Each structure stands twice: as structure tokens, then as C-alpha cells.
Structure 1
Amino acid sequence: MIAITGANGQLGRLVIQSLLQRVSADQLIALVRTPEKAEDLRELGIAVREADYDRPETLAPALVGADKLLLISGSEVGQRVPQHRAVIEAAREAGVKLLAYTSLLKADSSPLALAAEHKVTEQMIAESGIPAVMLRNGWYTENYTAQAPGLVELGMVAGAAAEGQLATAPRADYAEAAAVVLTSQESQAGKVYELAGSSAFTLTEFAEELAKQSGRKVEFIPMSQEQFAGVLVGAGLPEGFAGALADAEAHAASGWLFDDSGDLERLIGRPSMPLSATLNLA
């Protein structure tokens, strides 16, 4: 049995879709905070169980019978270490034989503020003794394309990445990689995958692609980390999260959101979907 945390989330749903192409529904356990929101998964024959990161007492019962577990990192920055610790302890109690964790690209050495919680989580997993595999996901292309219509209207792309290369891939490609690892006949214990897009772009090239697909003028406006954080706060993001994203972009200028290991492409057996296809403004 394969259990997936955060199964109602954007990545979790895509992982389940990809897993269903490889195994039957009765081999999957969808771990969700609110089971009532996953009735469609239950109707497919997937076991739906309540598992709340903030309520540790729900975790061990939810993992009964699970051989493999995909721990999708929590979305609450600043709260993830205790949340992840609770899941890891429950997995150890349940006798999980393989734990896969969605970490961050180059988490063990990355200077990104967002990397800190991932690095600690990787250490906790190693200390738990559970056989584990690290899926170090790079940036999602949707981090940029989700804002595309608004950026076209503004006629500008603001950012702090300067001309740094962003080796992004869409969530669906990272989800497929997770499904491949979870269903592999080869032992995955001890492996670390640095997952990033087959192709990369700069924010200047992103603006150019927006202009090309929309037929409108769009230009890149480079900003300092502080300026960009202010823009994000002005757009409604919480100050802490805005600061973390601006920090990530500033480090992207030095190459920290780029990787050419080819791990993602090898896992999914094809190049990841490029920006132009993900954007699809036509």
C-alpha cells in the first residue's frame, strides 16, 4: 500500500493521478485533513483517511497497512519541522518500509531561507532509521505562469532574479517523478534526486514569452530583494512568505534555482514540459 500525505493538495492530487496509471486504486491511501473533501477519491476505490499534521493522534492510525509513504512537505512555512516530525514518528511506529519526501533542490547546501526546514526534515528522516528517498523538487513553473494574465495586463514582470536561470518544471512532471519512484521495482532507499526542468529561462525570457503569446508588450523590471518583497506584500502575500519568495529569487540570480543533473528527465522518461507549453496563452 502507498500512502500520500496532502492528497487533497495541488501536488498530491497530481501524484494520485499518476499513481493510478501504474497501480490499482485499492493500493493507495489518500491522507487528508478533511476526508469530506476527498469523496471523489473514495469513489475511485482509494482508501481515504484523516491525517492532520497538527493532530499527531490522527497520523499513526492513518498509516496502518502502509508500506510506502510520500510525505509532501507542509505548506505552512515556519511550522513544517514539528509537522513533519509528527509524520516521521508515526511512519516509524507504523513500520513504513520506504519514506519518500518532497524536499527542495539542493536542500543540504542551498542558501535559500526556504531550504532550512527541508534540511532539518531530511536530517530527522535520516535519524529515524526509516529507509528513505529524497525528491528534491525545484521551482514549479506555475509559480510564474499562474500570474500570467495579470502580468500581461500590467505589461511587466517584476523580480529579483536578475538574469539567473530558472530550471522550472510543472507540478505534473514532479508528480510523475514521485509516482515512478514509489512504484519502482528497484530499491530507492538512500537515493537523492535533484529534480529540475530540462530547460531553463530567465525572467527576461519569461517576459518575452508572455509578449509573444499575448501579442502585448511585456518587459522585465529588475528589482532588489527588498523592493520585490514589498511588491509581493502589496499584492496581498503575508510578509513572511513574501520575504521568503524574494529571498529565493535573489539567490536564483546566483544559480540556486538551476540544475542540470537530468534526474527529472530520466525518471519520467522524457524532457519536462517547457515554459512555452505550460504557459499556453494562445
Structure 2
Amino acid sequence: MTAVPSLPYAVSGVTGRTGAAAADALLRAGQFVRVVVRDPAQGRHWAERGAEVAIADLTDLVSLTRAFSGVRGAYVVSPQQYGRDDLFEHADLIAATTARAAAAARVPRLVALSSVGADRENGTGWIGMNRMFEQRLGESGVPAAFLRAAYFMENWMPMVGQAVRSGTLPTFLAPPQRAIPMVATADVGNAAAALLQEAWTGHRIVTLAGPADYAPNDVAASVAATLGKPVDVVVLPDARWPDALADAGFSPAALAGFTEMTRALNGPHIDIRSDPAAVEWAGTTPLQHVITGLATR
């Protein structure tokens, strides 16, 4: 008699870092995984590893409901499209569609990527899209865990590239000696996989940082240690942010959202411990490991 495989865990966002890390962690744990992608080509790598591939658009209720049907749980990500003038409206459409699809498919539990600062009602720029995501999913009636990740260590990739080329690390975060919570995206994926495999009901809020807080000066020191030469830090003033981001392809709305978010990160408005309902988790990947990888790629 052929054994019937267990129900899969659905994972969206596998073309990004945290979704790929979550799918990888689940597969390594011997779990059955269904990756949710828009293009079949994006699923080939995962199919070769034994995953099921579901084709769905995050704004299409029918295909997304089908992708979420018959699963043990789902990790969901709302990809933010910074080139769009309507990026907040589009993010809300994805959030609403995800919530409706999860409810229609009777998903037992969701783990949703969110961000520190999502507990704040306003003044957080891009993070407002994570707040929308939490609210829409919370209204769906589906048990959900909101994984509020700290500042991604991988966000430093373009600045580390400049440091490698010029010996100077530009930073939007200031002052350069001020440490803030940061986390590796691999740790985010691992945490998402762990939450999916736990038994719980209702709503949970989990904040996730790395093993320590880090400052721009620590990033520069990690690059310097990797290259074996000094690296200076240059804080970019607000007035220079539009020029510094000119090649990023941001719409005016996205640039405004980045500016508000970064100012909030540089001040007291965003605090990883500001929500008393949240449980604190910590990843294990140190900053040096991530920065060395970025500096040598």
C-alpha cells in the first residue's frame, strides 16, 4: 500500500530571501512544501527538491485560494513594488486577497512577514504596508502569527558594494554609532518555519532580531575585516537621499515612504519592544557572517 503524503505547508515569496529560507527550512525538516509562484519557471528549483508547485497571482482570489487549499499552514509575504505610484493601494489589494483566499481555503494557520513598527498607527512610511497586511489577515478569522522582523542585514548590500569599491560606506541610518536591532533573512525564514510547525490558535505577534544590535560603524568594521583595509562611514543627510536613491527606481510615493520610515528608524518612533503583546525571539546569525557574504559575492 502506498503511503499518503502529509498535507503540505504553502510558502509564498520563494523568489525572495525570507520565503526561500522558510521553504528550505521546512524541506530540511522533512516537511512537504507547496511553493506559490507566479511563473512555473520560478518553481523548477523547488520541484527538483521535491516541493509541489502552485501557480497563483497574489491579486487573484481564485488562483490563490486554490494554492492555499488543503494545506497545514501557509507562510505569506506581501511583495512591495516600489516602482508603482499606487504601491500602498496595491499592497492593500494583495493583503485583502490573501486574507480572503486564506479564509476561503480554510487555512489552519498563517505566518505573515511583518516588520517592527507595525504596531504604530502612522509615521512609519513603508512599514504602513505591513500594518495593512496584519490588519487584513487579522480580520479574516484565520489564526495568524505576525512575524515582525527587525531591519534586514541584507539591506546593506548596495552600501557594502560601494564600500568594497571606494573604501567608504554610505549610510541612511544615523548617528553611525547608534545600534539598532538587525536580523539576517535566513533567521526570518527559520523562524517562520518554526512557527508553522508549532501548535497554536488565535493571533500571535513575534518580534525577531539578531543575536545583538548593530550600528553602521559595525557594518563598516565587518567590511574592513573582510577586505583587510580601512572603511570609513559617511552619513547621508536627508537632503541627499533622493539623489542617492535615483537609480533605485522608486516612485515618488515610494521615496516618500522610504524617507518617513528611515527618519522613524533614526528616532524613537520605532522600537522593537513598543508592543507589550509581542513575544521576543532572537536569531543566531551574526552581522559579520552576512556582511562578509555581501562583500565577497
| TM-score where L is the length of structure 2 | 0.83
The equivalent of 2:78 in structure 1 is: 73
Query: What do residues 191-246 of structure 1 show as CA deviations (whole Å, max 9, x unaligned)?
Result: 1001112212221332233223223332222232231232111x443244444334
The reply to whether residue 169 of structure 1 matches residue 180 of structure 2 is: no
The reply to whether residue 34 of structure 1 matches residue 46 of structure 2 is: no
| Deviation (angstroms), 1:94 | 0.7
The equivalent of 1:253 in structure 2 is: 266
- What is the letter of the counterpart of residue 201 of structure 1? Y
Change in 2 beyond 3 A, CA 1:274/1:255: farther
Structure 1: which 5+ residue stretches go unaligned? 266-270
| Deviation (angstroms), 1:175 | 0.5
The equivalent of 1:4 in structure 2 is: 11
Query: What do residues 244-281 of structure 1 show as CA deviations (whole Å, max 9, x unaligned)?
Result: 3343332222256664788332xxxxx52111121124
* Identical residues among aligned pairs (%): 21
Q: Partners in 2 of 1:227 and 1:257 — Cα distance?
A: 23
- What is the letter of the counterpart of residue 59 of structure 2? D
**Structure with the larger strand share:** 2
The equivalent of 2:54 in structure 1 is: 49
- What is the letter of the counterpart of residue 175 of structure 1? G
The reply to whether residue 129 of structure 1 matches residue 141 of structure 2 is: yes
Q: Is the 2:164–2:223 Cα contact (8 Å) retained in structure 1?
A: yes
| Deviation (angstroms), 1:67 | 2.9
Secondary structure at the residue paired with 1:177?
A: helix
Q: Is the 2:9–2:33 Cα contact (8 Å) retained in structure 1?
A: yes
Change in 2 beyond 3 A, CA 1:96/1:195: same
- Residues 1-282 of structure 1 mapped to structure 2, 5 A cutoff: 1-24=8-31, 27-76=32-81, 77-78=87-88, 79-109=90-120, 111-145=123-157, 147-163=159-175, 164-184=178-198, 186-187=199-200, 189-233=202-246, 235-240=247-252, 241-255=254-268, 259=272, 263-265=280-282, 271-280=283-292, 281=295
Q: Is the 1:114–1:248 Cα contact (8 Å) retained in structure 2?
A: yes
Q: Partners in 2 of 1:229 and 1:216 — Cα distance?
A: 30
- Detail structure 1 runs of 4+ shifted over 4 Å in the superposition: 255-258
Secondary structure at the residue paired with 1:129?
A: coil
Secondary structure at the residue paired with 1:112?
A: coil
| TM-score where L is the length of structure 1 | 0.87
Considering only aligned residues, what root-mean-square deviation do their CA atoms show, in Å? Answer: 2.3
Q: Partners in 2 of 1:123 and 1:129 — Cα distance?
A: 11
| Deviation (angstroms), 1:100 | 1.3
Q: Partners in 2 of 1:197 and 1:244 — Cα distance?
A: 25
| Deviation (angstroms), 1:177 | 0.4
Structure 2: which 5+ residue stretches go unaligned? 1-7, 82-86
Q: Is the 2:179–2:214 Cα contact (8 Å) retained in structure 1?
A: yes
Q: Is the 2:36–2:54 Cα contact (8 Å) retained in structure 1?
A: yes
Q: Is the 1:104–1:138 Cα contact (8 Å) retained in structure 2?
A: yes
Q: How many residues align?
A: 273
| Deviation (angstroms), 1:65 | 0.6
Q: Is the 1:225–1:249 Cα contact (8 Å) retained in structure 2?
A: no
Q: Partners in 2 of 1:123 and 1:258 — Cα distance?
A: 19
